Structure 1
């Protein structure tokens, strides 16, 4: 009991206070398959043996740059200049922690302020926070924020919202007793979300471009939300699209939640990433996370301060807007450095190159017998329908050295109607040779 000083009576007293009978009750929301997974690990190994085992495991991975790569669905392969890594690995950035003492964290606060400025400009919103964990949790926080603003408890999730984002949002909504309107999947991007808004709807959540790649004008939906007193939450999983597509703010969004991985951050086999969050000034006090501001000191010199801190560690728990403990500081810095290097013209150039590569890819795949392009208007990602199971096709193409995209069966495993769908993404990293290779390999497999 040296490291577990609580007695059985101590634990019983705590469980009585929070209303559970057994410790296992604390994990009732965790799927049974994820509890106590069987992991075949030896009791002990030397450091050298551990390095060998882990290296062998890592060698089984296929890096995005190892061949033609068309995987997207919320994580995209873009070029990150060497300057970005060089700057963020400076010790004053790499080892800095959250700015609890703003007066001695001016550098951290300054780049977070610049990050906020960039995100607000990209999204067309009035204010942005100092980053969140990733896009999916940013989406969930946006939904919870909408409930606080409107005092309503019904949420409409678009059928084109990434299923992982929807799942995270549902988990959070379940915990606060909110209701979610059931909206079917929408590969064609033709759903009528305005018709689902009622007097108890707090928000409508729509992704643009959506998980199938569809681009849409959010302006009519924004007007419908305003008319009914609901908020429009726009989700952006491909930040580079904001270099070519009208911003959510221009189209009337009230809250924007997004994933910033595309700018400054490599794929990294799934993380860490950086969440974007922006809103209108009038809702700023309900915004989760933190807000850095600019001011002047007693001598008139510019300085930076932590203007808004609405998390549990800063204020009373019942007044907190979120239990987020910190931001993705280093990833946010990488985002800011890359955006600064690109500038507006650079971002637009990357966006147009990505769009051109996607158009070329779609044209090439459309010529493959049995392939049907499902997405008419897209940025750099689109969906195709295959004459057979897409997961099997993806595995067959992977054996040929081509990572062809994300199969519908992986995103919606319990919906057989999606299992012949394949979501394909292209970026400025996609070459003509890559496009020819995927078209040739697909024709051979089909």
Structure 2
């Protein structure tokens, strides 16, 4: 992951050396932000969305849930506040939705002639979809397999609909289907199949399965009823139809996923939702806007605490024993290192505990493949990886950028 992040940052420095605007340099997709904002300002919204489409296959989705590295780099922010780039992209994406057939006709005109070669992509999340778009536009046929019934991956399964409306996902995915993506849902690739067997019948294979395995703390009691992983919980709500969550809910973690879990839980009728975080509020990796919204909605955040064990009675969660934390010298992330204070134990009562400390690849051969920084699977000709398998858990726009880079490698292989 560090190598790949270095690759991304190195790319940004290269863009800056080419005298590109900071917003464009900061975007993993290298989008021409200044240019499309200028077009919107002139009322030329059709041209703006088509310019966005040159580099971004999921403009509607990014208009709602992109992590906005462009806005962090925006020079305007040093005076008052950055330009609302994500909101402007959302505006352009809604124009596309209202003029779907017109935009689609242009996109179809951009496609290269059919090359007679087909790529199999396993995984229909951001990286798999971005890879698919790039390959389709270059004239390759693409078949996408996914364990979920519909395309979208974590976008559909784990991001709450109050943050990302499902009609936005449906529109962006629908454009891909219109451009020629063949999708086969409810297909779970088993552990007994090899990469070579998967590739049979295709000219190249891309594995873009993401990181769906909830990480655990390794403390006593994590197997109790009422103790849930973050992705497990969000999938249960978004796909499984969970409609209530009675009692008191504790969420462990400080990232965007923890905020999504807490805000989702809040909508299921609990007595209270509390986020437990081991550093200070200002150290939380979640976007500041998401933290502020959660607090306004009624989520309570308890900083500088660390779980010690799950309190279990009769096989079910009854609380969480915590240690208070003092902060030491900065760790490799630049944030202060949390140091548990001996003898500071106390118990927070709970009916549910949601652990949102991160995720990793699913156990099994596909989650353990090894590749270089460009997505080429080592010692496997014609087999590639994209997204979190290459970069480690990343943002949506970083996953999309990884998918596009992998598509370039696939095209180079097939054209060679």
**TM-score w.r.t. length of structure 1:** 0.25
Pick the structure with more strand per residue.
2
Q: Using CA pairs below 8 Å that are at least 6 residues apart, which structure has the higher relative contact order?
A: 1
**TM-score w.r.t. length of structure 2:** 0.26
